[in-house]
Structure 1
Amino acid sequence: MSTTQQTNPKQVIAARVAKEMQNGDVVNLGIGLPTMVPNYLPEDVNVILQSENGYVGLGPLDGDIDPDLVNAGGQPSGILPGGAFFDSLFSFELIRGGHVDVTVLGGLEVDEKGNLANWMVPGKMVPGMGGAMDLVTGAKKVIVAMEHVAKNGSPKILKECRLPLTGVGVVDLIVTELAVFRVTDSGLILEELQNGATLEMVEEKTEASYMVSPDLAK
């Protein structure tokens, strides 16, 4: 069910990402912020959620929690009528075969060439980049949903990523609580300002070079 109230940055981002979905899209959502996107889908838009751990038709929890039914982040989930389970091989055949219309992932860094770094957190143990590298390559549209700056206030939209990359030139759209950037062959284009944001705020918090769309939405 669609929700219109957004009271924090993550909600603002999730609500804006939801506007990119089209009825019938097969969508893969990364862990964390991206999982909030279905809460903001318009009433007339129904998407098919695919989970890389092996099923389509993810839905909200309904009744008792089944400990064996979890999404790719290990969180309890539900399944809608018509959903299906399959093994990891088939799951990644869907992803690598180009059958996922949209993937929404978080990001640690994105640069002006559409490169994405989102798997190695400095100073933390990580198991590896996982399915993200497959998703950013196989999905038809890649949306990075992230807060505009890191916790220390440093920019996350950079001239060039400094962390190990998840994918090269794979990002199509960047959505933050301040702005929406589209990645093009000519570089980043600032297409929208989120409610309350200004051009000056975006410029101050963005390291990457970008162009401002003549049709900038506010």
Structure 2
Amino acid sequence: MQKLSNNQIAWRAAQDIADGSYVNLGIGFPEKVAQYHPEGRVAIFHTENGILNFGESPAKGEEDWDLINAGKKAVTLKPGAAFFHHADSFAMVRGGHLDVAILGAYEVAENGDLANWSTGPKGVPAVGGAMDLVHGAKRVAVITDHVTRDGKPKLVKRCTLPLTGVACITRVYSSLAVLDIEGGRFVLREKLPSISLEELQSLTGAELVVPETVLDLIVPEL
């Protein structure tokens, strides 16, 4: 089955970040979104460990390990970048000063619940700042594969894993589709042209709302 790569999912999510937005990207896969921010638009990237307006990753061998993001990866700084205390960084999150947060997910429920910090009793818990971000950012989106490695749906009717936040997700960018969460339902906005509605529904653990117009999900080769 054809599906988008992680780079392609990240590219698609980046296209929806409005000019001038203050943005926090989750650790790991979501960090890729910054690589594909459209030229000509400004995004001010925030990290929980106390940097605002960091830039691209440095070239290999040119890292300054005093300059790292929350995922302990080396970053560069853009003109006007600022450093501040960890507590001030979370005050920005909790005070509603972030326009967008983009996170990964283990499960997303049709009512917008998110589970992304633990895979259950045998999993290693990794809460990080996600519990603050999902209720502090003005808009919270998820980027994820549509199914798990063993083919089980990650978009479900109700989450079975420990929750990160309740009714907090408004849009999902998956490897097969773009969906909005509206009125407690997954509303299909875009899908890969190569997959039928029936196949997409079979890979989704909740009923899809299919509007009259569903766009083709078209992304570049990356």
TM above 0.5, one fold?
Answer: yes
Aligned with 1:26 (options 3, 22, 28) = 22
The one-letter amino acid paired with 1:192 is: E
Compared CA separation, residues 212 and 146, structure 1 to 2 (3 A) = same
- Post-superposition Cα deviations, 1:138-163, rounded to whole Å, max 9, x if no partner, equal 00000000000011111100110000
State the 1:23 CA deviation. Answer: 0.8
Q: Which residue of 2 aligns with 1:212?
A: 210
The answer for the alignment partner of 2:220 in structure 1 is none
Residue 194 of structure 1 and its aligned partner are, at CA, apart by: 3.0
RMSD between aligned alpha carbons? 1.5
How far does the alpha carbon of each residue in 1:94-135 deviate from its partner, in whole angstroms, 9 at most, with x for none? 101111000000000001110000000342322x41210000
State the Cα distance separating 1:67 from its structure 2 match.
1.1
Structure 1 alignment gaps of length 5 or more: 1-6
1:104-183 counterparts in 2 under 5 A? 104-122=102-120, 123-126=122-125, 128-183=126-181
Q: Which runs of no fewer than 5 residues in structure 2 stay unpaired?
A: 217-222
Shift of 1:17: 0.2
Q: 2:196 aligns with which of 179, 195, 198?
A: 198
The equivalent position to 2:97 in structure 1, one of 82, 96, 99, is 99
Distance 1:191 1:98 in 2: 27
Does 2:64 match 1:66?
A: yes
Shift of residue 165, structure 1, vs aligned partner: 0.2
Q: 1:194 to 1:32 in 2, by over 3 A?
A: farther
Following the alignment from structure 1 to structure 2, what is the Cα–Cα distance between the partners of residues 58 and 197?
Answer: 38
Figure out how many residues of one structure are paired with residues of the other and give that number.
211
In the other structure, the counterpart of 1:3 is none
Task: Tell which deviates more after alignment, 178-187 or 196-205.
Answer: 196-205
In 2, Cα distance between equivalents of 1:189 and 1:207: 13
Contact 1:24/1:47 (<8 A) preserved:
yes
State percent identity of aligned pairs: 40
Cα deviations by residue, 1:25-48 (Å, 9 ceiling, x for unpaired): 000000122111122222121200
- What TM-score does the superposition give when structure 1 sets the normalisation length? 0.92
Counterparts of 2:35 and 2:56 in 1: how far apart (Å)? 10
- Displacement of 1:174 in angstroms is 0.6
Range moving further from structure 2, 54-63 or 199-208: 54-63
Give 2:7's aligned residue: 11
Q: Secondary structure at the match of 2:211?
A: strand
| Cα separation, partners in 2 of 1:8 and 1:188, compared to 1, 3 Å | closer
Runs of 4+ in 1 over 2 A off after TM superposition: 121-126, 194-198
Give the partner amino acid of 1:21: I
